[in-house]
């Protein structure tokens, strides 16, 4: 007990110290959020694609033409060799490992960096990455440049094997830069579910404040996402200490996440202390998400957090209640919900209350809010609250069939899918109700609305519902599939194809995106300066970002083309996940749909830091018009989603964005010719 009290006192004192330091250094505290203005690597300010040879190499890259790219491996110009090597980070052709590995001994450092990165990208896609890893292990022994060695350690993790992890565990690394590389490698191996206990223990050691910030951050990322930690006192104390006292919120927030895996009174007390006292909302959000303990032990802290000044924290707390609150707290949440101004927080609590409510008072109140609201996203959340009652399905179905608002129809099918999943539905004996739902999902499939098709297809193939035997004539599925256009309605096509395969008893196979690739507009790309500035005016304020023309020219060109057509003006942020991303740019506002062409993935060595902008996709080479902005470093996205820009001003606005906030206007800050 003395140790417990002492630990809590230390936690309280160190959080206070961290708060003072945060006021000076914390880039993402609620009151002093600024963008990361330091480039990750030296980036030339000139557009490299004024060089036609680089354009030629890139054309081979976008065509996924390995032979055409390899031709430049022997070019006397190292810039061309580097571009050719980097091309394979996106092409990811597993047959070129030997040829690509020849560049690991290139005399030019930048060429070797590109070759290492590309080998790691290829290795992570291989069923048996041993060949790629062997090349990397040999390169590690011969390489003398520290920056290349850092990338080798990361690439070994990407192409992880048990042998590779044994090798990493055997290394006696003291240099801080190489320790960063080791942390990267261990994290990348975790993404492939390859672990070694000695390396997890090493990550605990690396969160010590004696190490560089980037080392601590990457080690904490691993512990937060993968740390398979036993309830050991020494491990627990080190993570609690780092969460309470580290100067950087990215370390603290990931330590909070790591503590979710340890269930002790000390951990609960420390998480609660961070939730109440840490000035950075990212840490408070993760503290809530780390609560996986007995409800009564955290109830009061969550109730307090619902009134947090930061809306992300309040929403996250309400989501905790949505998933965990018992019936005994329904009345408390009912009273609280009626006082709240945040519509999302209120809707989450009303969903809990309606789940347990008897009579019509709560149900009628939710419907009255629905009628008063002119916010389509709030209406959608209220529909989910009504979906807690099976008897609300006719009301929801009426909106599905008759609303002229696409967002309402999409929300209605989402809510109806939820109704069908309720345990109470299984107790419904009336065959008419079950037949009604069969008609509802058939209607969704035949609607030609991609969002409705997605939810309808997912519901139909759910084995618990037994729709496989419900429809005597299943030909409507194939007819609906044939009407969907690729790649414009790719998500609907993918989901419906899965359902057809399941009904036919076939193995579900990945669906190709189609071959509608946009021709690269090099004439326009050549007019853009590297780091072309863009202004994004939103309903929460202005944001400025810079485009990575050299790293992602095709994505940038597509984005610029859409900006000039005012495609993004008056669109909405349809998806916001606290301490992850704010996503927008979709044509319909419900997260579905895209353009009538796709863009090839451009997977450069850039990393997702706070305020980086990437393209959403439904798989490799399916990028379109939707994009997202990161709230904090998200290393699991690195090398998987195209990065095409970064925020340079207005990161405080990004952290305020919520679902439904408007993209009022997007404009280039320098004139660009057509």
pLDDT in tens, 248-266: 999 999 999 999 988 889 9
- Taking the C-alpha atoms of residue 416 and residue 22, their distance in angstroms, rounded to an integer, is 45
Q: 165 or 33, which is more confident?
A: 165
- pLDDT value at 42 more than 50: no
Alpha helices in 263-372 (DSSP H): 265-277, 281-289, 295-305, 311-324, 330-337, 343-356, 361-372
pLDDT, average across residues 414-431? 92
In whole angstroms, what separates CA 498 from the centre of its chain?
24
Give me the pLDDT at residue 232, please. Answer: 56
Percent of the chain with pLDDT over 90: 86
User: Does the pLDDT of residue 10 top 80, yes or no?
Assistant: no
Q: How far is CA 578 from CA 58, 274, 545, 581, 631, in A?
A: 36, 17, 21, 7, 8
What would the mean pLDDT of 494-513 be, rounded to a whole number?
88
pLDDT exceeding 70 applies to what percent of the chain? 91
Characterize 5-29 residue by residue with b for buried, 16 or more Cβ atoms within 10 angstroms of its Cβ, and e for exposed.
eebbebbeebbeebeeebeeebbbb
The predicted-structure confidence for 164-203, as pLDDT tens digits, reads as follows 999 999 999 999 999 999 999 999 999 999 999 899 999 9
Please, what sign has the CA dihedral across residues 305, 309, 311, 313? negative
Query: Does the pLDDT value for residue 15 go beyond 70?
Result: no
Lowest pLDDT segment from 223-227, 288-292, 536-540, 564-568: 223-227
Residue bearing tokens 């095409």: 644
- For residue 279, give both structure tokens: 């000035």
- CA–CA separation, 548 and 366 (whole Å): 46
Domains of the chain: 48-279 (1.25.10.10), 418-512 (no CATH), 522-668 (2.40.100.10)
Q: Give the model's confidence band at 22: pLDDT under 50 very low, under 70 low, under 90 confident, else very high.
A: very low
Length of the chain: 674
* The pLDDT of residue 229: 63
pLDDT at residue 516, as a whole number: 58
Q: What is the pLDDT of residue 11?
A: 45
Q: In this predicted model, which residue has the larger pLDDT, 459 or 233? A: 459
pLDDT at 228 over 80: no
- Residue 62 token pair: 């976008």
- The CA-atom distances, in angstroms, between 549 and each of 91, 332, 559, 644, 669 are 19, 53, 11, 7, 15
What's the pLDDT score for residue 227?
79
Beta bridge partners of 614: 628, 643
652 pLDDT more than 90:
yes
Residue 513 pLDDT: 62
Residues 506-558 have pLDDT tens digits of: 988 877 666 657 789 999 999 999 999 999 999 999 999 999 999 999 999 99
pLDDT at 30 over 60: no
Q: What is the pLDDT of residues 341-391, one digit of tens each?
A: 999 999 999 999 999 999 999 999 999 999 999 999 999 999 999 999 999
Among the ranges given (31-40, 151-160, 566-575), the one the predictor scored with the smallest mean pLDDT: 31-40
Q: Peptide bond preceding 487: is omega within 30 degrees of 0, i.e. cis?
A: yes
Alpha helical stretches, state H, 207-246: 213-226, 233-245
Calculate the average pLDDT of the chain: 92
Cα separation of 282 and 592, whole Å?
A: 28
pTM: 0.93
């Amino acid at each position: 007990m003395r140790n417990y009290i002492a630990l809590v006192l230390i936690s309280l004192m160190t959080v206070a110290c961290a708060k003072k330091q945060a006021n000076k250094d914390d880039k993402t505290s609620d009151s002093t959020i600024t963008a990361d203005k330091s480039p990750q690597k030296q980036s030339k300010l000139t557009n490299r694609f004024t060089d036609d040879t680089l354009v030629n190499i890139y054309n081979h890259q976008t065509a996924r033409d390995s032979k055409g790219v390899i031709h430049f491996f022997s070019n006397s110009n190292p810039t061309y060799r580097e571009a050719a090597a980097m091309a394979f980070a996106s092409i990811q052709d597993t047959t070129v490992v030997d040829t690509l590995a020849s560049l690991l001994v290139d005399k030019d450092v930048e060429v070797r960096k590109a070759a290492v990165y590309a080998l790691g990208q290829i290795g992570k896609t291989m069923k048996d990455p041993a060949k790629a890893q062997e090349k990397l292990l040999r390169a590690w022994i011969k390489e003398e440049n520290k920056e290349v060695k850092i990338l080798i350690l990361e690439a070994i993790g990407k192409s992880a094997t048990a042998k590779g992890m044994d090798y990493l565990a055997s290394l006696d690394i003291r240099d801080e830069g190489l320790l960063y590389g080791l942390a990267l490698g261990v994290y990348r191996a975790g993404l492939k579910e390859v672990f070694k206990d000695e390396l997890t223990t090493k990550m605990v050691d690396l969160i010590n404040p004696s190490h560089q910030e980037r080392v601590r951050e990457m080690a904490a990322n691993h512990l937060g996402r993968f740390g398979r930690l036993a309830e050991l006192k020494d491990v627990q104390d080190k993570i609690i200490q780092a969460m309470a006292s580290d100067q950087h919120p990215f370390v603290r927030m990931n330590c909070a996440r790591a503590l979710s895996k340890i269930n002790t009174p000390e951990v609960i007390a420390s998480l609660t202390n961070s939730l109440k006292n840490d000035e950075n909302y990212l840490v408070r959000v993760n503290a809530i998400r780390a609560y996986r303990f007995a409800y009564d032990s955290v109830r009061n802290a969550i109730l307090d957090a619902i009134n947090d000044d930061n809306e992300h924290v309040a929403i996250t707390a309400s989501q905790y209640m949505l998933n965990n609150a018992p019936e005994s707290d329904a009345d408390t949440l009912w009273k609280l919900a009626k006082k709240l101004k945040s519509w999302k927080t209120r809707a989450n609590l009303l969903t809990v209350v309606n789940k347990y409510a008897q009579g019509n008072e709560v149900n009628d109140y939710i419907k009255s809010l629905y009628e008063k609201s002119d916010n389509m996203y709030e209406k959608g959340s209220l529909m989910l609250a009504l979906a807690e009652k099976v008897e609300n399905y006719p009301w929801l179905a009426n909106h599905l069939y008759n609303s002229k608002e696409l967002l309402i129809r999409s929300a209605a099918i989402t809510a109806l899918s939820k109704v069908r999943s309720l345990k109470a539905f299984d107790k419904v004996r009336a065959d008419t109700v079950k037949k009604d739902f069969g008609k509802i999902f058939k209607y969704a499939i035949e609607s030609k609305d991609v969002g409705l098709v997605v939810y309808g297809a997912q519901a139909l193939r759910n084995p618990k519902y037994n729709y496989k035997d419900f429809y005597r004539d299943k030909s409507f599925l194939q007819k609906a599939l044939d009407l969907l256009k690729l790649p414009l309605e790719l998500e609907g096509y993918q989901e419906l194809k899965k359902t057809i395969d399941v009904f036919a008893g076939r193995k579900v196979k990945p669906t190709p995106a189609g071959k509608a690739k946009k021709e690269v507009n090099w004439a326009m790309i050549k007019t853009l300066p590297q780091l072309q500035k863009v202004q994004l005016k939103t309903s929460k304020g202005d944001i400025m970002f810079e485009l990575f023309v050299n790293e992602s020219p095709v994505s940038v060109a597509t984005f610029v083309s859409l900006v000039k057509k005012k495609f993004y003006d008056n669109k909405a942020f349809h998806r916001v996940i606290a301490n992850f991303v704010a996503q927008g740019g979709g044509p319909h506002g419900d997260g579905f749909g895209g353009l009538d062409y796709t863009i090839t993935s451009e997977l450069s060595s850039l990393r997702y830091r706070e305020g980086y902008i990437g393209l959403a996709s439904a798989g490799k080479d399916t990028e379109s018009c939707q994009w997202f902005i990161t709230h904090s470093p998200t290393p699991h996205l690195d090398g998987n989603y195209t990065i095409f820009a970064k925020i340079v001003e207005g990161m405080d606005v990004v952290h305020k964005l919520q679902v439904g906030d408007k993209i009022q206007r997007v404009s280039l800050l320098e004139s660009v010719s057509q």
